[in-house]
Structure 1
Amino acid sequence: MESLAPLLSRRSYSRKKLIHPAPNDQELQSLFELVMTTPDHGNLKPWRFLVVKGEKMQVLADATLEMYRRQLPGGVLTEKARRSCQEIANTPMMIIAVTDLKPEHDVSLWDQWLCGGAAVQNIMTGLHLMGYGGFWYTFLAGDELKPVLGMQPEDQVLGAISVGTPKERFVRPLERKSPHDYCFEWQGLGKKPTPYFGK
């Protein structure tokens, strides 16, 4: 369908493939308004988003490097850790999605986690539609780094999204897997589902 065409070209870009500019404040406002449309059982908004940009990218990179140093045996940094932190410093912007769970609420923590992940996906989709690129990766904030990010001890990072403009030479369609192997039609109780699209 033509209405879905803009989304079919969505892809992720590693940090090394992202350059300036990143979204401005007005664009970020629109992006987070999109996030507010995320399906949210209980309307809890179980997330918080930290926007890191400018000179604070180097501060974040340094703090991350120190976290790695404390986690690695003997405090000896690997080349991979150094390279990763340098990439963070060079990234135009990062949006760090953090949980803000409500364990006392009737909505299960599982639902709240899924909702937070859906919110991050909306950020990725919105960035693409705005002409920017993003890279969603796991960022396990240790106890040393949580206070630096303004997180509570019980908070966890849903994802760290590197944000910027994709380098032009990397903007090209990707070969996708067919959905045929992943979609099935339910045939009733005790019956084996059959491929929805046939073979």
Structure 2
Amino acid sequence: MNPLTPLLDRRSYSYSKLTYPGPSEEELKQLFDLVMTTPDHGNLKPWRFVVARGEEKMNKLAEVTLAMYKRQSPNGELKDEAYRAVEYLKKLPMMLFVMTDVDPDHKVSLWDQYLSAGAATQNIMNGLHLQGYGGLWYTFLANDEVKPLLGLKAEDQVAAAIAIGTPKPEFVKKIKRQSPNEYCFEWEGLGVPPTKLFS
């Protein structure tokens, strides 16, 4: 059996496809234990995590999100999709923010530190899948407007805002994946174009 099989079915689920329950306290601890295996040049741990969960906090987060949609609208008017997104957000059990916590004076480059935060995010996505949960790497809430809410320094970024819940059964299905053949190459030496790795 292919040892990677459990991860080959990982997929993202939109808000509307996620419901309660979310991860328990113990499952969150296990998830963050997995994060600690993330490649991290210099062992800096250049990431931090903030979890928003529970109906009251998710409603507050939905209000903040709606206000952000309004500010980013050219005329201040909102499309139906903005209202739908906010309503789905209210129904989520949890949102997990991944933030960078970089040291700009360290010999390890900022690029390396930012990449490590991205790798930590993917570890979370994989871990959620293995635990039986679904996640959506939501980019709208990963922007500069969120920084003050999370107490970030100017040089830090919100790497991800991950919507988390249990996938509704009717949406749990295999996805036909693209072949990796077009994206993988073998190095043939200096000055020689790489050749395809797989025929």
TM-score (norm 2): 0.93
Match of 1:159 in 2: 160
Aligned to 1:46: 46
| Residue matched to 1:78 | 79
Unaligned runs of 5+ in 1: none
Gaps of 5+ in 2: none
Deviation at 1:192, TM superposition (A): 1.1
Partner of 1:113: 114
Q: Aligned-pair distance for 1:153? A: 4.0
Partners of 2:85 and 2:144 in 1: CA distance: 16
Q: Cα RMSD (Å) of the superposition?
A: 1.4
Instruction: Look up the match of 2:123.
Output: 122
The size of the alignment, in residue pairs, is 197
- Check conservation: 2:94, 2:164, Cα contact below 8 A: yes
| Matched letter for residue 27 of structure 1 | E
Which digits, 9 at most, give the CA deviation of each residue in 1:61-114, with x for residues without a partner? 101111222232343233222222222111111111111111111111111111
2:88 counterpart residue number: 87
Please tell me the residue identity of whatever aligns with 2:25: D
SS in 2 for 1:66: helix
Pairing 1:116-155 to 2, within 5 Å after superposition: 116-138=117-139, 139-143=141-145, 145-155=146-156
In the aligned structure 2, how far is the partner of 1:192 from the partner of 1:148? Answer: 48
- Provide the secondary structure at the position in 2 that maps to 1:148: helix
More divergent stretch after superposition (96-105 vs 66-75): 66-75
1:188 partner letter: G
CA contact (8 A) 2:134 2:167 kept: yes
- 3-state SS of 1:160 partner: strand
Percent of residue pairs bearing the same amino acid type = 58
> Deviation of residue 4 (structure 1)?
1.0
In 2, the alpha carbon distance for the partners of 1:61 and 1:156 equals 21
**Following the alignment from structure 1 to structure 2, what is the Cα–Cα distance between the partners of residues 5 and 150?**
39
Distance in 1 of aligned mates of 2:148 and 2:157 = 12
Q: Separation in 2 of the partners of 1:181 and 1:127?
A: 29
Aligned to 2:189: 188
